[in-house]
């Protein structure tokens, strides 16, 4: 069993972004990322701080817009509009979920597709569907990056994704499909879940339930990717997979923390760099 080291793979990605950013800066272009945070959700604050640190490391300029939970929909949309207009801002990211009373979808749709570094805008989602895209959602793209780094081929494999969110589950299934995986998406209404998951060569768990995937749900020799970020009964950080009991059945497995998490932020850096290049008409 090999533990997939997300920190190590993400360092390689960030290093690459850092080098390319230095080349852009030599041409007088500094990629800029705007991060909008509404309210005071502690988990969101941690994510935003990590994103700022990553921006600093790779050489981006990052601007944070921390708004009170009482912010109105109009105020939020006005801010997005201003950021769309600014040439020194290449990527716009609004930390979700938003406080009650604000509409996540309206904000996603207001962000210019050219600056949508989360790849949540309908236009970008549609392009992922047909396989002609500029940006990929950070978590699924980060997972693909890890599979490539460990030379894990998706071609012809049975792939099972547990979870059908727009942020992870659905785009994850599309990316596996683009690499010729045979993909099944499972969710809360799926019957015979164990039967399906135990056929998977590659199993991706994105349900948000601590230790939901148990050893009897996993095929011997499977590759198990754990997207969960949960707390167990003792308040300790854990994933959607019961790591201790599942790990001995796998050929590869991602840990929590240190697996998928760092990859999400590394991919965001990659997307922001690409946005800066596209907006400055630099094509690789």
Has 284 been annotated as catalytic? Answer: no
**Three-class DSSP category at 151:** coil
Question: What token pair was written down for 80?
Answer: 């997005």
Among 97, 93, 85, 46, residue whose Cα is nearest residue 65: 93
Q: 34: which strand partners?
A: 63, 92
Has 199 been annotated as catalytic? Answer: no
In contact, 222 and 213? CB cutoff 8 Å: no
Question: What token pair was written down for 263?
Answer: 């990859």
Instruction: Name the residue with tokens 């796998």.
Output: 250
Q: Which of 14, 51, 115, 157 is catalytic?
A: 51
Q: Which of 14, 95, 240, 270 is catalytic?
A: 95
Q: Where are the alpha helices (DSSP H) in the chain?
A: 6-26, 42-58, 73-85, 104-110, 122-130, 138-149, 169-178, 193-197, 243-246, 260-279
Q: Which of 116, 118, 226, 240 is catalytic?
A: 118
Has 51 been annotated as catalytic? Answer: yes
Give the residue numbers marked as catalytic: 51, 95, 118
């Amino acid at each position: 069993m090999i533990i997939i080291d997300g920190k190590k793979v993400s360092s390689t990605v960030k290093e690459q972004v850092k080098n390319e950013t230095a080349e852009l800066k030599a041409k007088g272009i500094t990629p800029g990322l705007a991060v909008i945070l509404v309210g005071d959700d502690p988990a969101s604050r941690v994510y935003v701080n990590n994103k700022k640190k990553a921006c600093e490391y790779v050489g981006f300029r990052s601007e944070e817009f921390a708004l009170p939970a009482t912010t109105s929909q109009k105020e939020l949309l006005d801010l997005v509009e201003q950021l769309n207009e600014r040439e020194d801002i290449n990527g716009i990211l609004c930390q979700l979920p938003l406080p009650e009373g604000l509409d996540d979808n309206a904000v996603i749709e207001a962000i210019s597709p050219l600056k949508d570094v989360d790849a949540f805008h309908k236009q970008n989602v549609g392009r992922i569907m047909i396989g002609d895209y500029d940006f990929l959602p950070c978590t699924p793209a980060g997972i693909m990056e890890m599979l490539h780094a460990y030379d894990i081929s998706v071609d012809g494999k049975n792939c099972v994704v547990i979870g059908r969110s727009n942020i992870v589950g659905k785009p994850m299934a599309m990316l596996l499909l683009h690499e010729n995986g045979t993909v099944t998406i499972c969710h809360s209404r799926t019957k015979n879940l164990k039967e399906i998951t135990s056929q998977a060569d590659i199993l991706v768990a994105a349900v948000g339930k601590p230790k939901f995937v148990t050893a009897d749900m996993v095929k011997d020799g499977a590759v198990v990717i754990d997207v969960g970020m949960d707390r167990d009964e003792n308040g300790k950080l854990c994933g959607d997979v019961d790591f201790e009991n599942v790990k001995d059945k796998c050929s590869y497995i991602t840990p929590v923390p240190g697996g998928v998490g760092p990859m999400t932020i590394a991919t965001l850096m990659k997307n922001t760099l690409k946005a800066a290049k596209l907006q400055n008409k630099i094509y690789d």
